[in-house]
Amino acid sequence: MNADIGNEILRLKEKGLSKLCVEESLEKIAALTLEINKLKKEKKAVIAAHVYQRPEIILGTADFVGDSYKLAKDCVGVDAEIIVFCGVNFMAETAKILNPKKRVFIPRKDAGCSLSDSIKAEDVRNLKKNYPSAPVVTYINTSADVKAESDVIVTSSNAEKILRKIFEKNKQVIFIPDKYMGKNLADKLNKKIGTDIILWDGSCVVHEKFDPEIISDYRKKYPDMMVMAHSECPSEIIKKVDFMGSTSDMLKQIENTNASHYMLITECGLGELAAVKYPNKKFIAMCRLCPYMKMITLENIKDTLLNLKSENEIFVEESVASKAKKSIEKMFEFAE
């Protein structure tokens, strides 16, 4: 093993990666992270990584880590010529919309999202025809075309706040595309589905499949545990948890509380990150892997940076991007 790789292994261990990877895999990981970080400097690139990404990507290569809202903000005016987005397609599109002059790449363009894939621009136009006076409030997990047809974008961390503001001036709102998040928000705001809030039939393949009974079983074993769930989960889960929110909200809760154990009902990446960030707290595994998020690997990040191929580059038509940008900026305005 050469000295550079040895030093890189030490750096990765200091970041906490050895808690999440077997010792034998560290040499291979270190060779890749070394090369990726060298390529980043050569190509004046930054890497933005969603919290659901693999730990070796987050701890070894990322310049920005966060949920959709944080990454959208971090990407505004970033000081780099290239952004490599490690997440799913709609996130890379959002980065491109907010940075039209920069080149944005995604290591796998086919990294989709069941929520984003559930709705097209034409569906939104039809909803608007049916409910002409209702503003369209759209979860960020949607394509640029759908964002362009929307009035305001929301993320799981600001949806409640923004909806409250919108309901001050409107009786009816179209909320797309996540039916579970829409139902959870309607319950919180005491609004009726079908009259106050019009929903779309979209759902997240990861968050819709948790079993609420498992929570009760674990509560018997760990009565002081705190259970947190992402707001993309169905209400049968939400009714049984202590806290519902975005991934950043959940991390804040862990930081500010002292439960005996924490159960995070979301994609597995968050639990891994939490275990590294809070080594003295105890976590109970109750997670599922997102097949789209996990398409991104160190190998395909390296290839993307090395070759900068058009098959990995994100392009958004100017007319769509300018309309989508307005609805994203409206979110920043409402959320601040």
Site for ligand SF4 (CB under 6 A): which residue of 175, 180, 210, 292?
292
> Looking at the chain, how many residues does it have?
336
Residue 230 one-letter amino acid: H
Please, where are the H alpha helices in 99-211? 121-130, 144-148, 159-169, 179-189
Contact code string over 73-92 relative to ligand SF4, x by CB under 6 A: ---------------x----
Under the criterion CB under 6 A, does residue 48 sit at the interface with ligand SF4? no
DSSP category for residue 209 = G
Site for ligand SF4 (CB under 6 A): which residue of 53, 61, 89, 114?
114
Under the criterion CB under 6 A, does residue 290 sit at the interface with ligand SF4? yes
- The gap between the terminal CA atoms of the chain, to the nearest Å, is 50
How many secondary structure helices (H) and strands (E) does the chain include?
Answer: 15, 13
Contacting residues for 256 by C-beta, under 8 A, at least 6 apart: none
136-139 β-sheet, strand order: 152-154, 136-139, 173-176, 197-199
Under the criterion CB under 6 A, does residue 106 sit at the interface with ligand SF4? no
Region of 19-27, 186-194, 200-208, 247-255 interacting with ligand SF4 (CB under 6 A): 200-208
Paired tokens of 4: 């550079």
Under the criterion CB under 6 A, does residue 71 sit at the interface with ligand SF4? no
Under the criterion CB under 6 A, does residue 286 sit at the interface with ligand SF4? no
How near is the Cβ of 232 to ligand SF4 at its closest, in Å?
A: 6
Q: What are the DSSP E strand ranges found in 51-196?
A: 64-66, 82-86, 103-105, 136-139, 152-154, 173-176
Is the CA virtual torsion 83, 89, 94, 99 positive or negative?
Answer: positive
Under the criterion CB under 6 A, does residue 193 sit at the interface with ligand SF4? no
How near is the Cβ of 161 to ligand SF4 at its closest, in Å?
A: 20
Cβ proximity to ligand SF4, 31 vs 296, nearer residue: 296
How near is the Cβ of 74 to ligand SF4 at its closest, in Å?
A: 18
How near is the Cβ of 126 to ligand SF4 at its closest, in Å?
A: 23
Under the criterion CB under 6 A, does residue 127 sit at the interface with ligand SF4? no
82-86 β-sheet, strand order: 64-66, 45-50, 82-86, 103-105
Under the criterion CB under 6 A, does residue 293 sit at the interface with ligand SF4? yes
Cβ proximity to ligand SF4, 152 vs 290, nearer residue: 290
Region of 109-117, 185-193, 247-255, 318-326 interacting with ligand SF4 (CB under 6 A): 109-117
Can you tell me which residue has the tokens 């990995």? 312
